Amino acid sequence: MPRLGRPKALLFDWHGTLADTFEAMYRAVEETLAELEALGLEARLRPPGGGRLPEHEALVAHVRERRALPAAVKRARRISRTEIFEILFGADEEAKHRAHEAFDLRYAEHAGDARPFEPDVRGMVGRLRRAGLRTGLLTNRRRALLGSELRQIDGGGWEALFDVVMCGDDVPRRKPAPDMVARALDALALAPGPDTWFVGDSTTDVVAAQRAGVRAIFFNGARWGPADLVRIFPPGHAPEAIAGDFSALEALALPPRR
């Protein structure tokens, strides 16, 4: 693990980092994909040859043909709806916005099965706060949907773990745009810099962190292997550290004082 020094604040992604909501998420994504034509998004899928990786090309081709996710994607439980929409629509911001809006409506019908990603997630965040670190939660999820999950996950009470919470409907652009990180920094009265870390499980989290000028820490809860970790991040957007679990993250954020 690299020595990054002690941060002042840690901002966390929600799905795939602090919480596991894969089942509901993939159901809502599939329902959104089934409605691509009705949503006016069928023709806006990224054209052949526009994907960065071969598996991105395969995902777009599969969705274009079948209006559904490949079974292997759902089994792997590695990529989020944000990454899926980034792969499908590329730089088409309007198409991604429409897809996220449609997803939110469908996700509301399936939400409620959120669970901690690791058993001691609550304890880990609490220890960081007791050590004097500020904490935040940043998610592309709508605030109403996140609020419901925070109230029910692990018996509730998670709202008290965070000094700031930013959601997809709080900002003009969702991650990987830097808007959410920038708004959280403003709320915490912090300037961009290496003493704020954004911890997330997706390439979009890493890109958002770096565009906002904070440290990008990749949470490898999906257990990507070394060869994959070399290739999944966009050029110029490798994270500054990778934590395979929360004990590693805690050790990284709270190094022994000398």
SS3 43: helix
Q: 217-252: per-residue pLDDT in tens? A: 999 999 999 999 999 999 999 999 999 999 999 999
Residue 69 lies in a domain: yes
The helices-and-strands tally (H runs, E runs) of the chain is 11, 8
Asked if 121 and 154 sit in the same domain, the reply is: yes
Domain boundary (89, 107, 125) is at 107
| Residue 1 pLDDT exceeds 90 | no
- State the helix-helix crossing angle for 246-253 and 121-130, rounded to 10 degrees: 10
198 bridge partner residues: 11, 216
Domain boundary (87, 107, 127) is at 107
Backbone angles phi, psi at 217, to 5 degrees: -115, 120
Share of the chain above pLDDT 70, in %: 98
Asked if 14 and 28 sit in the same domain, the reply is: no
Q: Which of 160, 182, 162, 179 has its CA nearest to residue 171?
A: 179
Asked if 53 and 181 sit in the same domain, the reply is: no
What was the pLDDT predicted at 251? 93
Q: 47-87: per-residue pLDDT in tens? A: 999 889 999 999 999 999 999 999 999 999 999 999 999 99
Asked if 130 and 223 sit in the same domain, the reply is: yes
Segments forming the whole domain that contains residue 123: 9-20+114-253
Residue 79 lies in a domain: yes
What gap in Å lies between CA 106 and CA 27, rounded to an integer? 8
| Residue 27 pLDDT exceeds 60 | yes
- Token readout for 200 is 């997330």
**How many folded domains does the chain comprise?**
2
Asked if 217 and 243 sit in the same domain, the reply is: yes
Contact of 137 with 125, CB cutoff 8 Å: no
- Token readout for 28 is 């809502």
Q: 109-121: per-residue pLDDT in tens? A: 887 678 999 999 9
